[in-house]
Amino acid sequence: MRGAEKSQMDIKVKSGSITKMDGELAVLGFFEGERLQGPIASIDRGMRGKLKKTLSSENFTGSFLQTILIRPDRPKGLQRLILVGLGKRNEITEDRLRQAMGKGATSAQAIGAKRIVLDCNPHFIGKGTVRAFSQILVEGLILSLYKLDRLKTGNKKEKPIEDCVLVVPENKQVSQAEKGGAQGKVISEAVHFVRDLCNLPSNIVTPSYLAQEAKTIADEGRMQITVLERSDAEKLGMGAFLAVARGTAEDPKFIVMEYKGITGEKPIALIGKSVTFDTGGISLKPSERMDQMKYDMSGGATVLGVMSVISRLKLPVHVVAILPATDNMPSGTAVHPGDVVTALSGKTIEIDNTDAEGRLLLADALAYAARYNPKAMIDLATLTGACVVALGQHAIGLMGNQDTLISELQSAGEESGERLWPLPLWDDYFNQIKGEVADLKNVGGRAAGAITAGLFLKQFVGEIPWVHLDIAGTSWYSDARHPYIPKGATGIGVRLLVRYLTNHSKRKKR
């Protein structure tokens, strides 16, 4: 990938006792309110007394994300130890583990550690497998160390952690830890890739840039790829997509990728809104924070990240990815409020607000995806400010037309820590988007804005099982939210969809 450098961190696995790793820095979790636990419980008696005294003097209780650095001052074994609070044992989740690992990793990097050791024994937690535990730890480690400094001059990079050693109790567990660690690394690299695409400025990440990134991923993963140009979209009758692209000097790109990790099955279609910069068009946005509108292609970036992961992990799934990519700009050729366009499906749309452009792109992308007769369609979009008002920045807005698909995605969200919350798509809301001079209006007023946007999209999916994910509130943070999600682009959706597709592939084998 050009968008993000692959992590240079080397992940190794060893068997044995973590306390006997000479000259290393270890990052270990510690449950609140419990005595010495896990690997450090077996440390020699003299060291145990000193450790207890240190914890007491520093008032370390193990509360969630509390940290302490300990230097054992011993001739052999561990030389430095970072304990990270896990909180109460009965409150532990995969995501809290990931956050704790992120906190430990950033603490280790801050003191200049080049190499860290992690205990990979899930029995300490009381649940899970070595493979799953290894993946969680590596994800928390790599995700927390994300930086975008390639556009800065001079030697500004922090010295990175170069090596991570996962320690398992027995030799027979080494293979599983290696697989889990490798999977965590691949997924984390894809999240970094997505963050880079969204954080880089729009004069770099243009529709053409996205198309080139898609081609690189397709070539590496032996996927089919088609990039439709403006003239191709005109011939097909993509009036909604082209309406958004009318005002920009950048050539729009309608990107279609297909990964066949299994034969004889209908595909799952992933569609990502890919507005590489959104001014709002003629319905111009306020200037405040408009610079952030470079991340309005988060949905498309996430889809690219997912395609990279499934090909590198060789998941046995069939996936079609669609990215309708363009800028949304005001100009003498830009679409006007009140204009009527004809979408690929044949439906006519009255454009009341040119800043509600994402649903126009997705209308044609969903209709195009339907031509593959997919078993399911999932779209991701930074679609509405109304979803941010409704759910804040803690949950993805979830809407759809099939309970099973909704439930499967909710489960994947809980497992991955990228949570979703359902909103209704009742027909009662339809009058808000019923057109006056066309079939539909692209906005339904202030009330229930996230829902009417989802209901608009529903008009273009037919009977195909479909889910819409509104990631407007979760794809960008003005401040770091927790240890493994930094300020700026979050890369939300990659871990969610990879978990969904992995679960889907497992369900088929039953």
Report the candidate in 423, 449, 271 with the shortest Cα–Cα distance to residue 355: 449
* Phi/psi of residue 349, nearest 5 degrees: -130, 130
Q: Which residues of 301-327 are buried (b: 16+ CB within 10 A; e: fewer)?
A: bbbbbbbbbbbbbebbbbbbbbbbbbb
Integer angstrom CA distances of residue 299 from 44, 93, 248, 323, 344:
52, 27, 20, 8, 21
Rounded distance between C-alpha atoms, residue 25 and residue 81, angstroms: 5
Rounded distance between C-alpha atoms, residue 84 and residue 390, angstroms: 34
Integer angstrom CA distances of residue 470 from 2, 135, 249, 339, 443:
27, 27, 28, 26, 16
Integer angstrom CA distances of residue 82 from 50, 58, 72, 104, 405:
15, 13, 11, 7, 42
Rounded distance between C-alpha atoms, residue 262 and residue 278, angstroms: 37
- Residue indicated by tokens 């007769």: 373
* 355: its two tokens: 């800043």
Rounded distance between C-alpha atoms, residue 168 and residue 119, angstroms: 7
Integer angstrom CA distances of residue 333 from 236, 324, 506:
21, 19, 50
Active site residue 294: no
Integer angstrom CA distances of residue 198 from 3, 205, 429:
10, 8, 33
Any idea what DSSP says for residue 89? Answer: G
Cβ atoms 202, 250 nearer than 8 A:
no
* 497: its two tokens: 């969809």
Any idea what DSSP says for residue 393? Answer: T
Active site residue 359: yes
Identify the active-site residue in 359, 458, 495, 499. Answer: 359
Rounded distance between C-alpha atoms, residue 38 and residue 89, angstroms: 13
Identify the active-site residue in 179, 285, 375, 419. Answer: 285
Q: Would you call 46 exposed, middle or buried from its count of C-beta atoms within 10 A (0-12, 13-18, 19+)?
A: exposed
Report the candidate in 231, 324, 244 with the shortest Cα–Cα distance to residue 281: 244
Amino acid letter, residue 14:
K
Report the candidate in 321, 478, 473, 497 with the shortest Cα–Cα distance to residue 405: 497
Rounded distance between C-alpha atoms, residue 454 and residue 362, angstroms: 10
Residues noted as catalytic = 285, 359
